[in-house]
């Protein structure tokens, strides 16, 4: 029996800033994982990946990341995606007296 499909989102880094972005249902790129389209059907996920990968002037390194449904939208399965969503651990960012 084939393994059940784990839900996914389409994610990438934005070309201009390099920031983590996710694909929404209405074909926008968002920085907020909660707005991402959760893909529960494997064939649909593959299609969305192909569509997103074609947008090479907007996004770099497009791939499908495993997620689970949560009350506020998709939630990461793996800690790497959790760090991608959240940015560096608060303690890993130096306390700045200047800059932002």
Partner 1 sequence: MYRYTDFDADFVAERNRQFRQQVARRLDGSLTEDEFKPLRLMNGLYLQLHAYMLRVAIPYGTLNARQMRRLAEIAERWDRGYGHFTTRQNIQFNWPRLRDVPDMLDALAEVGMHAVQTSGNTIRNVTADHLAGAAADEIADPRPVAELIRQWSTDHPEFQFLPRKFKIAITGSPNDRAVTRAHDIGLRLLERDGQTGYEVIVGGGMGRTPMLGQVIRDFLPEADLLPYLEAIVSVWNLLGRRDNKYKARIKITLHEHGIDALRTRVEDRFAELRPAFGGADRAILAALRRDFAPPALAQGRSTRVFETARAADPVFRAWCDSNLAPHRAADHAIVQVSLKAHGAVPGDASAAQMRALADLAERYGHDDLRISHEQNVVLPHVHKADLPQLHAALTAQGLGTANIGRISDIIACPGMDYCALATARSIPVAQEIATRFQALGLEDEIGPLKIKISGCINACGHHHVGHIGILGLDRGGVETYQITLGGDHSETAALGQRIGPGFAADEIVPAVERLVQAYLALRTEPAETFLACYRRLGPEPFKTALYGAGNEARPDAA
Q: Which two tokens stand for residue 27?
A: 């074909």
Size, binding site for partner 1 by CB under 8 A = 29
Is residue 79 within the footprint of partner 1 (CB under 8 A)?
yes
Is residue 54 within the footprint of partner 1 (CB under 8 A)?
no
Q: How far is the CB of 59 from partner 1 (least distance, A)?
A: 9
Nearest Cα to Cα of residue 66 among 96, 36, 95, 88:
36
Nearest Cα to Cα of residue 53 among 64, 41, 43:
64
Q: How far is the CB of 43 from partner 1 (least distance, A)?
A: 26
Q: Which two tokens stand for residue 15?
A: 């070309």
Is residue 17 within the footprint of partner 1 (CB under 8 A)?
yes
Contact segment (CB under 8 A) with partner 1 among 1-9, 15-23, 32-40, 41-49 equals 15-23
Q: Compute φ and ψ for 63, nearest 5 degrees.
A: -155, 170
């Amino acid at each position: 029996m084939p393994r059940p499909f784990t839900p996914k989102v389409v994610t990438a880094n934005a070309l201009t800033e390099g920031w983590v972005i996710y694909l929404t249902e209405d074909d926008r790129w968002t920085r907020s994982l909660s707005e991402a389209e959760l893909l529960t059907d494997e064939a649909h996920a593959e299609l969305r990946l192909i569509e997103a990968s074609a947008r090479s002037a907007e996004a770099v390194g497009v791939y499908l990341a495993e997620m689970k449904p949560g009350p506020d939208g998709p939630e990461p399965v793996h800690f790497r995606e959790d760090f991608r969503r959240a940015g560096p651990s608060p303690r890993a960012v130096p306390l700045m007296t200047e800059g932002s």
